[in-house]
Amino acid sequence: MSKTPTKSDPTHVFIAREITTPNKDQQGVSKAVFSHVSKLHGLLNDWMKLRDRGVNILNNQLRALAKLQPTDDPVIFTWSVTKISDTVQKIYDSLVKEDRLKQVITENVAHCRDEKLVEIYTSAWEFEAYFNMESNAYLFVEVGLAGVT
């Protein structure tokens, strides 16, 4: 299993290539699956760049606001800016870990030929190991927003 390159490493670019198999299927299912998985990989990388940039900007602004507020007085109801900033940082860190895991799963699915192993990867994809929105729901309740589903 190879290591997934980081987003800052410009030398590694994912290029989708058809994997040749001795028993090619007549309907082109393997080619279609490979095409969809490589599109998913591209979308995942694009989504990661957009999400990282947006959350990083918000997090930097919240940290700056926390520095500007000299006391730990609540800003909205009961939370201080520092507590909100720390919670957003935890959300960001968990999303980054979750994204790295999803990239590895995507790469493994692209190279997998065992149907049962693909089902395991699908289960791993659906299970969010690092990101738990329930633990972060208090932030949204604090500002009067509905929970994220």
- Residue 118, in any domain of the structure: yes
Classify residue 36: in a domain, yes or no: yes
Residue with the two structure tokens 């190879």:
2
Residue 4 resides in a domain: no
What does each C-alpha distance from 99 to 39, 85, 113, 148 come to in angstroms?
Answer: 16, 21, 23, 18
Asked if residue 109 lies in contact with residue 121, where contact means CB atoms within 8 angstroms, the answer is yes
In a domain, 5, yes or no: no
Domain-located, residue 58:
yes
Q: Domain containing 62: what range?
A: 29-142
- 86 Cα distance to chain centroid: 19
Task: Give the percent of the chain with pLDDT over 90.
Answer: 0
Assess if residue 115 is contained within a domain.
yes
How many domains does the chain fold into? 1
Domain membership flag for residue 11: no
pTM over 0.95: no
Q: How far is CA 43 from CA 7, 36, 39, 50, 143, in A?
A: 13, 10, 6, 11, 31
Residues with Cβ within 8 Å of 112's Cβ and at least 6 positions away in sequence, in order, are: 118, 121
Residue 4 has pLDDT above 80, yes or no: no
Closest among 135, 148, 129, 127 to 87, alpha carbons compared: 135
pLDDT band at 74 (very low <50, low <70, confident <90, very high): confident
Average pLDDT of the residues in 64-88: 77
In a domain, 138, yes or no: yes
Give tens-digit pLDDT for 23-36.
Answer: 555 566 666 666 66
pLDDT tens, residue by residue, 40-66: 667 766 776 777 788 788 888 888 887
